[in-house]
Structure 1
Amino acid sequence: MDFPPEADLSTDELLARTLQGDEEDQGAWRAIWQLHRRGGEDVFQRAAAWLQSPSPKERGRGANVLAQLDFQHRGPELVARFTDVLLPALAKEQDAAVLEAMAAALGHLGDPRAVPALVPLKDHPDAHVRFGVVMGLSQHRDAQALQVLIQLSRDFDEVVREWATFTLGSQAREVDTPELREALVERISEDHPKIRGEALLGLALRKDARALEPLRRVLEDGVVTTLDVEAAQALEDVSLLPVLVELREACDDEDEDPEFRAVLFEAIHALESLVP
Structure 2
Amino acid sequence: MKPSPVPFQTLLARLADPDSLVRRQTIISIMRRRNERGQAFASLLALLNDPEYQVCKAAIQALSDLGDSRAIPALIPLLTHHVSRLRLRALYALARLDRKQALPHLITALHDQTRSVREEVARILGRVGDARAINPLIAALDDADWHVRAAVANTLGRLGDVHAVDALITVLGDEKESVRLEVVRALGALKDARAVGPLIAALDDADWHVRKVAATALGRLDDVRAVDPLITELGDVVMAVRVEAAISLSMLGDARAIDPLIALLGDAEKWIRKTAVIALGILGDPRAVDPLIAVLDDADADIRAVVARALSMLGDARTV
**Same fold judged by TM-score > 0.5?**
yes
1:50 aligns with 2:96: no
Q: TM-score under structure 1 normalisation? A: 0.71
Match of 1:101 in 2: 151
Provide the rounded CA distance (Å) in 1 between the counterparts of 2:237 and 2:244.
12
Q: 1:1-276 to 2 correspondence within 5 Å?
A: 10-11=63-64, 40-69=99-128, 78-79=130-131, 81-91=132-142, 93-169=143-219, 171-173=220-222, 175-177=223-225, 180-225=226-271, 227-236=275-284, 237-243=288-294, 245-247=296-298, 250-251=300-301, 265=305, 268-273=308-313, 274-276=315-317
CA contact under 8 A between 1:220 and 1:243: conserved in structure 2?
A: no
Give the CA deviation at 1:240.
4.2
Over 3 Å counting, the alpha-carbon distance change for 1:191 and 1:50 in structure 2 is same
CA contact under 8 A between 1:90 and 1:102: conserved in structure 2?
A: yes
Deviations 1:115-156 (A, max 9, x none): 121222121211112112102212334443111111111111
Q: TM-score under structure 2 normalisation? A: 0.62
Provide the rounded CA distance (Å) in 1 between the counterparts of 2:294 and 2:240.
20
Give the CA deviation at 1:62.
0.6
Q: Calculate percent identity across the aligned residue pairs.
A: 27
Give the CA deviation at 1:176.
2.2
Query: Comparing 237-246 with 198-207, which one deviates more in the overlay?
Result: 237-246
The two structures, once aligned, show a CA RMSD in angstroms of 3.5
- Bigger RCO (CA 8 Å, 6+ sep): 1
Q: Give the gaps of 5 or more residues in structure 2.
A: 1-60, 65-74, 76-83
Over 3 Å counting, the alpha-carbon distance change for 1:17 and 1:159 in structure 2 is farther
**Stretches (4+) displaced over 6 A:** 17-20, 34-39
CA contact under 8 A between 1:238 and 1:272: conserved in structure 2?
A: no
Over 3 Å counting, the alpha-carbon distance change for 1:18 and 1:135 in structure 2 is farther
Over 3 Å counting, the alpha-carbon distance change for 1:205 and 1:143 in structure 2 is closer
Q: Give the gaps of 5 or more residues in structure 1.
A: 1-7, 21-31, 71-77, 253-260
Provide the rounded CA distance (Å) in 2 between the counterparts of 1:243 and 1:47.
60
More helix per residue: 1 or 2?
Answer: 2
CA contact under 8 A between 1:188 and 1:199: conserved in structure 2?
A: yes
